[in-house]
Amino acid sequence: MASAIFGFVGVLLGSLTTSILTIYKERLASRHETMIRDQQYERDRQATRDDFQRESIQALQTAVSDVIKAAYEELDRVLAELRESGSWPARQWETPTAKGWSESVLQLQLSAARVLDEGLRDLAHEIQRIAGEAIWAPDLSAAKRHSRRLEPLHVRFNDTANRIFTSLF
Buried b (16+ CB within 10 A) or exposed e, 35-73: eeeeeeeeeeeeeeeeeebeebbebbbebbbbbbebbbe
DSSP conformational letter for 98: P
Confidence grade of residue 68 (pLDDT, cut at 50, 70, 90): very high
At residue 65, the pLDDT reads 96
The burial of 151, by beta-carbon neighbours within 10 Å (0-12 exposed, 13-18 middle, 19 or more buried), is given as exposed
Per DSSP, helices labelled H in 136-168 are 140-167
Q: 168, 116 in Cβ contact below 8 A?
A: no
Q: What is the rounded average pLDDT of the residues 76-91? A: 89
Q: Say what the pTM is.
A: 0.77
**DSSP code of residue 168:** T
Q: Quick check: helix, strand or coil at residue 93?
A: coil
pLDDT category at 38 given cuts 50, 70, 90 is confident
